[in-house]
Amino acid sequence: MKIHRGQEIVVSADTRNAKVGDPAVIGIRPEHIQFGEKDAIKEGVVEQSVVEQLGNECLMHFSTLQSNEPVVIRVEGQTTIKAGDKRCLEFPADYCHLFDKDGKAYPRSVVGETKPSLVVGGD
């Protein structure tokens, strides 16, 4: 699937009933988003806006230039990341889900193979 600025991500979904160019949404659970390599991609900015320290875990809310939707990450324990910090995020393809324009999920296909990840952010 091609996304923002021609970046591509492989999602383990059966899209045989979709047509090239059909709108779709990628979804991922907050605990599956990871911090990527700092210099992985120079395009785009992912900026920390809110940190919720909940004791045994943190919810970190990031804003991006690519989307009006906030990105929320859940991590175990506490963090030293604070509002205004910029980070690179990685969305492992095996954990991504694909939805059509009506919000219906495409069926999952083979999961567990090494697939490329989408990396967003950087300096």
Burial of 106-118, coded b for 16+ CB within 10 Å and e otherwise, reads: beeeeeeeebebb
Of residues 87 and 53, more confidently modeled: 53
Domain span(s) for CATH 2.40.50.140 in the chain: 30-90
> pTM above 0.85?
no
Strand partners, 91: 118
pLDDT digits 0-9 by tens, 95-111: 888 899 999 999 887 65
At the fourth CATH level, the homologous superfamily of domain 30-90 is Nucleic acid-binding proteins (2.40.50.140)
C-alpha span between 78 and 24 (Å, rounded) = 34
Task: List, for residues 3-54, the tens digit of each pLDDT value.
Answer: 655 666 777 788 888 888 888 888 889 998 887 765 444 444 577 788 899 9
Q: Say which CATH class 1-28+91-110 falls into.
A: mainly beta
Cα–Cα distance measured from residue 4 to residue 94, given in angstroms and rounded to the nearest whole number: 19
Q: Which residues neighbour 88 within 8 Å (Cβ) at sequence distance 6 or greater?
A: 35, 36, 37, 38, 39, 40, 41, 46, 119, 120, 121, 122
- Where, residue-wise, is CATH 2.40.50.100 in the chain? 1-28+91-110
- Pick the closest to residue 73 from 32, 27, 30 (CA basis): 30
Contact 27, 21 (CB under 8 A): no
Token code pair at residue 99: 């939805």
